[in-house]
């Protein structure tokens, strides 16, 4: 199987963050699995007015990726554990691999409860006129049919044959203050419109650091950002999960930067 990892960074800040902090673990993973690594640094659609995060929906039709059996899209803020297995081989047949709540968290009620509670709290901060209890509430508010399932779109696996599916989402997906950029549109695609195409991946392929932190290390926010305790907690998490996603920006990514820096110092000691 010929597979590639695709990462998009638009702008100096995201590019520099990825190259300095997250790219080394992705490169090691790609080399170990025999995957090519493609880094896109400019808009695929130069006429767009949408946020750059929508560009991931155009990768399936990109000429640079046309010869691959599987394409693994990664957000630029993901650390990969050296224990991570090859993700492309985990998707069966002509399907789209994604970590979904229903497919990956139902067997872990504690993790699911933490994620749902955290999700409600995060969204309540900016949905002042809505008290979301599940993702269905937000999807409906964004203008889509309800679904109890949800995908974080920072990791998914697809093939060039899915180009039309994603192009449809790109061209017609709703974009408003409640869509979380492309996330509502792509979730509607994968959990409603084309749910028959989805292969639910093991949740360890897209573990959200904020959820892991709240579930296991809720005390970390009280510590100084460069605390070695934070670094040890990230290291312990990478021993349990495979792809650790520092979604949300801000301090989350600063912790990742400090972790990588300290790991480098320890490896060279």
CATH label, 3-267, candidates 1.20.1440.230, 2.120.10.30, 3.90.550.10, 3.20.20.60: 3.90.550.10
Predicted pLDDT of residue 223: 84
Interacting residues of 215 by C-beta distance below 8 A, sequence separation 6+ = 110, 111, 114
pLDDT at 224 over 60: yes
Asked whether residue 124 carries a pLDDT value surpassing 60, the answer given is: no
Q: pLDDT tens, 14-62?
A: 999 999 999 999 999 999 999 999 999 999 999 998 999 999 999 999 9
Higher-pLDDT residue of 31 and 250 is: 31
Q: How far apart are CA 39 and CA 5, in angstroms?
A: 8
- Comparison of pLDDT for 263 and 73, the residue scoring more: 73
pLDDT tens per residue across span 175-191:
887 788 898 899 999 99
What is the value of pTM for the model shown?
Answer: 0.91
């Amino acid at each position: 199987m010929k597979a590639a990892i695709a990462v998009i960074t638009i702008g100096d800040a995201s590019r520099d963050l990825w190259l300095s902090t997250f790219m080394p673990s992705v490169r090691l993973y790609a080399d170990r699995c025999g995957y090519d690594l493609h880094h896109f640094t400019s808009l695929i659609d130069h006429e767009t007015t949408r946020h750059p995060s929508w560009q991931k929906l155009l990768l399936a039709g990109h000429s640079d990726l046309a010869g691959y059996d599987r394409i693994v899209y990664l957000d630029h803020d993901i650390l990969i554990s050296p224990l991570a297995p090859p993700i492309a081989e985990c998707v069966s047949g002509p399907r789209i691999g994604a970590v979904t709540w229903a497919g990956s968290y139902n067997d872990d009620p504690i993790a699911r409860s933490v994620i749902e509670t955290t999700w409600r709290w995060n969204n309540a901060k900016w949905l002042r006129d809505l008290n979301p209890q599940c993702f269905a509430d937000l999807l409906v508010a964004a203008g889509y049919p309800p679904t109890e399932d949800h995908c974080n779109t920072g990791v998914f696996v697809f093939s060039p044959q899915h180009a039309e599916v994603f192009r449809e989402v790109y061209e017609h997906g709703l974009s408003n203050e409640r869509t979380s950029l492309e996330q509502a549109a792509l979730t509607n695609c994968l959990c409603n419109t084309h749910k028959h195409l989805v292969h639910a991946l093991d949740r360890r392929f897209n573990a959200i650091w904020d959820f892991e932190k709240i579930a296991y290390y809720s005390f970390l926010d009280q510590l100084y950002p460069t605390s070695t305790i934070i670094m040890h907690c990230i290291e312990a998490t990478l021993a349990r999960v495979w792809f650790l996603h520092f979604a949300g920006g801000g301090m989350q990514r600063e912790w990742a930067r400090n972790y990588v820096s300290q790991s480098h110092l320890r490896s060279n000691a």
